[in-house]
Amino acid sequence: MPVSNSHLQALEAEAIHALREAAAVFRKPVILYSIGKDSSVLLHLALKAFYPAKPPFALLHVDTTWKFREMIAFRDRRMKELGLPLTVHVNQDGLARGIGPLSHGAAVHTDIMKTEALKQALDLHGFDAAIGGARRDEEPSRAKERIFSLRSASHCWDPRGQRPELWRLYNGRLNPGESIRVFPLSNWTELDIWTYIAREKIPVVPLYFAAGRMVVQRNGMLILRDDERLTLLPKELPELLWVRFRTLGCYPLTGAIESRADTVAAIIDELGRSRTSERQGRAIDHGESSMERKKVEGYF
């Protein structure tokens, strides 16, 4: 069924409640801004939650240096428009070692340039709470997440030893070194996100909308060659296809889907008929229980 206004209202109120709790109970909370649609919604909700004041959060982007160029351009434009200070963190050690998805594979790249980088940034700035846009319906291990989810001093998630979370009573109390990941969008679905983006007219990266793009078939995925670092293999021939992205990550690891949906309304319509899962185009999820393992190690 289409997402009703009252349902969006309830989801919005629940997320705002979680954001206000995070602001009230943590010493130094940060929004993990990943530029995607969920982050865009999260940021919008933060603006609402503390109006007329500005959100009392720092903003952090963990840059793997392999994001789509359009993502970075969008990020810089949005931050300027909103007048919010953004901290960008790159794992300099990984960069110096030349870690990348093409040379080292998805697993090593994600581990070093995302998970390690995130842990570095949290430690460096002493953030005791990281607020992210992850949703339970994205992926089976995320269905097990709390809204306030405890991480050990080494940023590890213990899925079998989670704090029970009852009513709206989130337990944000920490022992030294521990931190909390806050997921205000836990109960939102992909369809809720897009319906809300439509209702609130939230800007998102243009890559979500279908357009004619030069893509190449690789490992069963349609890869957009975003810069020269991706060298074509002998038999690979880029072709012009109408494609869009359902999720955004590192460009060599993020498959496009063939689509004509070039407006938010068309995307909502397309989702209603989709037979595949949202993260099906993400190379990093595949392999045995890989999202759970990454999360246990500290991935968002």
User: Could you list the residues that contact other proteins (CB under 8 A)?
Assistant: 1, 3-4, 6-7, 9-10, 12-13, 16-17, 20-21, 23-24, 47-54, 136-137, 139-144, 159-160, 162-169, 171, 173-175, 178, 186-187, 189, 274-277, 280, 288-289, 292-293
- Give the C-alpha separation, 24 to 148, whole Å: 13
In the complex, the smallest distance separating the C-beta of residue 233 from other proteins, rounded to whole angstroms, is 25
- Structure tokens of 193? 């996100």
- Give the C-alpha separation, 75 to 36, whole Å: 9
Q: Are 125 and 87 in contact (CB under 8 A)?
A: yes
Instruction: Determine which helix (DSSP H) or strand (DSSP E) holds 283, and give its type and residue range.
Output: none
In the complex, the smallest distance separating the C-beta of residue 54 from other proteins, rounded to whole angstroms, is 8
In the complex, the smallest distance separating the C-beta of residue 224 from other proteins, rounded to whole angstroms, is 21
Which residues are registered as beta bridge partners of 182?
Answer: 131, 148
Closer Cβ to other proteins, 53 or 240, answer by number: 53
In the complex, the smallest distance separating the C-beta of residue 165 from other proteins, rounded to whole angstroms, is 6
Closer Cβ to other proteins, 235 or 275, answer by number: 275
Closer Cβ to other proteins, 211 or 272, answer by number: 272
Closer Cβ to other proteins, 55 or 100, answer by number: 55
In the complex, the smallest distance separating the C-beta of residue 48 from other proteins, rounded to whole angstroms, is 4
Closer Cβ to other proteins, 68 or 183, answer by number: 183
Q: How many other C-beta atoms can be found within 10 angstroms of the C-beta atom of residue 127?
A: 23
Helix, strand, or coil here: 18?
Answer: helix
Closer Cβ to other proteins, 263 or 289, answer by number: 289
- Give the C-alpha separation, 166 to 163, whole Å: 9
- Give the C-alpha separation, 191 to 37, whole Å: 12
In the complex, the smallest distance separating the C-beta of residue 188 from other proteins, rounded to whole angstroms, is 9
Instruction: Say if strands 86-89 and 211-218 run parallel, antiparallel, or are unpaired.
Output: unpaired
Closer Cβ to other proteins, 4 or 92, answer by number: 4
**Left if phi > 0, otherwise alpha if psi is -120 to 50, otherwise beta: which for 120?**
alpha
In the complex, the smallest distance separating the C-beta of residue 206 from other proteins, rounded to whole angstroms, is 25
- Please report the DSSP string for 166-230 in residue order: BTTB------TT-EEEE-TTTT--HHHHHHHHHHHT----GGGS-EEEEEEEETTEEEE--STTS
In the complex, the smallest distance separating the C-beta of residue 259 from other proteins, rounded to whole angstroms, is 16
- Give the C-alpha separation, 134 to 218, whole Å: 27
Q: What angle do CA 66, 70, 76 make, to 5 degrees?
A: 95
Closer Cβ to other proteins, 180 or 224, answer by number: 180
Give 67's DSSP letter: B
